[in-house]
Structure 1
Amino acid sequence: MSRARGTDRRASIVRAAFEVIAERGYRGTSLAAVADRVGLTQQGLMHYFPTKEDLLTAVLEARDEWDLLHFGHAPPGEESAMTVNQLAELVDYNATRPGIVQTYTVLAADSVTDDHPARKYFHDRYTRVRAGMAEMLERHRDELPPGTTPEQLAPIAIAVLDGLQLQWLLDPAEVDMPAGFRTFLTLLGIKPD
């Protein structure tokens, strides 16, 4: 099998895994279900992803890569500081891909259990995201509500983003995720372009 064909097959397995995880959650997802979705036997799928944890890791990495590619950022660990406008654009972009947002939301919620294989991934990711959010807010320090610091506001901003995603997934006709985030920025005193 050619390397390109193998890469294409891996990508289709990851997309199928996204769908199955969004529908069933991580614990309800089996390699057999993903294999069936992509037209492989379970043994055939295991040629590409020997364990369910390997597949989960690929799903999470793919989601991050899609975001980085869309916004032209450096790979994790080499991130350039995101601007408020880029973050608002990311929220706009997420509003066009409910399946990806749903999978991420399900996995993030599932990961709070001690034995979840993505717990470390999400712990580390939230640590990076809080630091990046604080850095972004630091550039707007003079606009922030009096008596607050970027470090105090960073986890609140992330909670707003995650909460808006969840509410939007449950009721997209009533919750305008991009407008809600821009309203939150305005409440902080930041005016996105």
Structure 2
Amino acid sequence: MAKRGAYAKGVVKREEILEAALEIVGRRGYRNASVREIADAVGLSPAGLLHYFGTKEQLFVEILRARDRRDTASDDELEFFDAFLAVVRHNPEVPGLVQLYTQLQAEAADPGHPARAYFLDRTEEVHAAARTAIAAGQREGRIRADLDPEWIIRAGHALADGLQNAWMLDPTIDMAADVEQFFALLKP
């Protein structure tokens, strides 16, 4: 059944808000992007914008979800490791989104934080895809069979997140080159 009326308009407006927020936060950063600026970009008051998300924190979580949808939509045809590397290569183009991700990830250590469920769900989803890709790679002889798949996942996850933190302090770090080097170590 097609969505009609006010509900459909609300869905469209919410997507418009997220598109504007992705651009603004990506360009200006987590701390420099205000709810007012995002609201102004879509013709709403700050209170009107938050009507669609509830709180500023939930808006920022939804920005990350929208970023993930955008990143994975363009990578549907890529193999897991290539898609992962494509995201790492794209990150320097959206420094504010990298900043938002790392900030909320740290805050999500608090069990009551609104971003906690997002990070737990996202981690399980990415790790499940990685398990599938690693198992296939080991069966096909493209990934060393002597390496524990769970170690590969943990080490790769830690490397990617650690590189983002290091890159924010030193933008000359080539995150993609370091991830490629890690992937090379996995080959027989």
Both structures adopt the same fold (TM-score exceeding 0.5): yes
The residue aligned with 1:99 is: 96
**Contact between 1:130 and 1:154, CA under 8 Å: does it hold in 2?**
yes
- Match for residue 118 of structure 2 among 115, 121, 127: 121
**Partner deviation per Cα, 1:17-52 (whole Å, 9 max, x = no partner):** 66787227xxxx9xxx41255334332223333333
The residue aligned with 1:155 is: 154
- Match for residue 187 of structure 1 among 179, 185, 188: 185
Distance 1:42 1:36, change over 3 A: same
Residue 181 of structure 1 and its aligned partner are, at CA, apart by: 0.6
The residue aligned with 1:58 is: 62
How far, CA to CA, are the matches of 2:184 and 2:91 in structure 1? 20
- Match for residue 177 of structure 1 among 169, 172, 175: 175
Give the SS at the match of 1:147. Answer: coil
Code of the residue aligned with 1:42 in structure 2: it is P
Residue 65 of structure 1 and its aligned partner are, at CA, apart by: 1.2
Distance 1:88 1:54, change over 3 A: closer
The residue aligned with 1:47 is: 51
The residue aligned with 1:35 is: 36
**Partner deviation per Cα, 1:53-91 (whole Å, 9 max, x = no partner):** 542342122111111222136xxxxxxx84322322222
- Match for residue 11 of structure 1 among 1, 6, 19: 19
TM-score, normalized by length of structure 1?
0.74
How far, CA to CA, are the matches of 1:58 and 1:20 in structure 2? 17
How far, CA to CA, are the matches of 2:146 and 2:17 in structure 1? 53
Give the SS at the match of 1:139. Answer: helix
- Structure 1 alignment gaps of length 5 or more: 74-80
Q: CA RMSD in A?
A: 3.1
How far, CA to CA, are the matches of 2:88 and 2:18 in structure 1? 27
**Contact between 2:18 and 2:63, CA under 8 Å: does it hold in 1?**
no
**Partner deviation per Cα, 1:72-116 (whole Å, 9 max, x = no partner):** 36xxxxxxx843223222221223222222211111111111211
Distance 1:99 1:62, change over 3 A: same
How far, CA to CA, are the matches of 1:63 and 1:18 in structure 2? 10
The residue aligned with 2:165 is: 166
Code of the residue aligned with 1:176 in structure 2: it is D
**Contact between 1:144 and 1:188, CA under 8 Å: does it hold in 2?**
yes
How far, CA to CA, are the matches of 2:165 and 2:36 in structure 1? 28
Q: Which moved more, 1:64-73 or 1:175-184?
A: 64-73
